[in-house]
Amino acid sequence: APSGPLLGRHVVVTSGPTHEPIDPVRYIANRSSGAQGAAIAAALRDLGARVSFVTGPAVVPPPAGVQVIRVETAAEMRAAVEAALPADAAVMAAAVADWRVVNAAGQKMKKDGSDRPPTLEMTENPDILAWVSRAERRPLLVVGFAAETDDVVANAVAKRQRKGCDWIVANDVSPDSGVMGGADNTAILVSENNVEHWPRLPKAEVGRRLAERIAARLAEIAG
Ligand code: C5P
């Protein structure tokens, strides 16, 4: 029979990159593999949670035993998160594109013989983490991520406040860190009163630690 400290809890997890179309065959993307999000979802599942896993087009497949909601764009991801609420907790591990193309073409763009390449006009995407942190049906515990290449802690502390989430899991994604697409992660858990440095760990272990912390925190605040 299912058991675990998260039994009866619902957690929404976002994961992977988003794809922002330029035209029907081209898109803007990023190097997120979705590995850390998948590991977190699996760990939450293992502690008994019902998991809604909202994933962009990731390299790493979604774990078994979670409800998978596949999306492509940031706008679709925001709508899917909203549709998945209410939830006890939300973990926003997706690498959401900051911008999308305003004038995405309905047909494949062609070299038209003139020597002018097209110009892409961009506009800001919805910030899903900031939105869910202030939503009417805000989950009790909202966890965001901060992929930084410099001043990791200072940026994460500022980001936690700006986004309105409870915790930020910060990590160094400098090219020489090997985190993006790699097997390990060196995470820093930033909460209201605490900055906790975790050692370099496999992403599965980061997922387990985070899931355990979420279970403990929900037991405190949700009873
Ligand atoms: O602002 P930045 O992209 O560095 O913030 C990262 C955090 O915000 C991650 O938790 C990410 O999933 C979330 N985010 C989001 N929607 C966006 C941009 C970021 O949910 N449009």
Tens-digit pLDDT profile for residues 142-152:
999 998 888 99
Closest CA to 138 of 96, 180, 89: 89
Q: How far apart are CA 98 and CA 95, in angstroms?
A: 9
Pocket test for ligand 1, best of 82, 96, 148, 185 (most atoms within 8 A of CB): 96
Please tell me the least confidently modeled range out of 8-12, 19-23, 38-42, 173-177.
Answer: 173-177
Query: Is residue 182 over pLDDT 80?
Result: no
Residue 108 belongs to some domain of the structure: no
The pairing of beta strand 184-190 with beta strand 195-202: antiparallel
Burial class (CB in 10 A: 0-12, 13-18, 19+), 32: buried
pLDDT at 141: 98
Give the ranges where the chain is alpha helix by DSSP (H): 35-46, 74-84, 128-133, 152-163, 203-222
Determine the pLDDT at residue 85. Answer: 98
How confident is the model over 101-160, as pLDDT tens digits?
Answer: 998 989 999 887 777 888 999 999 999 999 999 999 999 999 999 988 889 999 999 999
Residue 30 is among the residues annotated as catalytic for this protein: yes
CA atoms of 219 and 214, how far apart (whole Å): 8
In this structure, what are the phi and psi dihedrals at residue 167, rounded to the nearest 5 degrees?
-125, 150
Q: Quick one: which of 49, 147, 37 has its CA closest to 91?
A: 37
Share of the chain above pLDDT 90, in %: 82
What is residue 118's predicted lDDT score, i.e. its pLDDT?
87
Mean pLDDT of 93-100: 97
Residue nearest to atom 17 of ligand 1 (CA): 127
- Tokens 């193309």, residue located: 101
Residue 143 near ligand 1, beta carbon < 6 Å:
no
Q: How far is the CA of 111 from the centre of ligand 1 (A)?
A: 35
| Closest listed residue to residue 36, CA positions, set 186, 176, 174, 161 | 186
The tally of domains found in the chain comes to 1
- Tell me whether residue 107 is in a domain: no
Closest ligand 1 atom to 126 CA: 21
- Ligand 1 within 6 A of 74 CB? yes
Provide the greatest CA pair distance for the chain: 67
65 within domain boundaries:
yes
Is residue 198 within 8 Å of 187, Cβ to Cβ? yes
In this prediction, residue 1 has a pLDDT band, given cuts at 50, 70 and 90, of: low
Assembly ipTM: 0.97
Alpha carbon of 53 to ligand 1 centroid (Å): 16
Is 110 part of any domain?
no
pLDDT mean over 167-179: 84
CB 52 within 8 A of CB 13: yes
Pocket mutation for ligand 1, best pick of 14, 129, 169 (most atoms within 8 Å of C-beta):
129
Is residue 112 domain-resident?
Answer: no
The atom number, within ligand 1, closest to the CA of 145 reads 10
Q: What is the CATH number of the domain that holds 131?
A: 3.40.50.10300
Eight-state DSSP code of residue 194: -
What range does the domain containing 156 cover? Answer: 10-101+122-222
Evaluate whether residue 116 is within a structural domain.
no
Give the atom of ligand 1 at the shortest distance from the alpha carbon of 146: 6
Residue 205 belongs to some domain of the structure: yes
The pLDDT of 40-56, averaged and rounded, is: 98
Q: Which residue of 73, 124, 132, 145 sits with most ligand 1 atoms within 8 Å of its CB, as the best mutation to test the pocket?
A: 145
Backbone angles phi, psi at 134, to 5 degrees: -120, 10
pLDDT in the model for residue 177: 77
Centroid of ligand 1 to alpha carbon of 156 (angstroms)? 12
In the predicted structure, residue 179 carries a pLDDT above the cut 80: no
| pLDDT recorded at residue 116 | 84
pLDDT of residue 89: 98
Q: Which pTM does this prediction carry?
A: 0.95
For ligand 1, say whether the CB of 94 is within 6 Å of any of its atoms.
yes
Is residue 3 in a domain? no
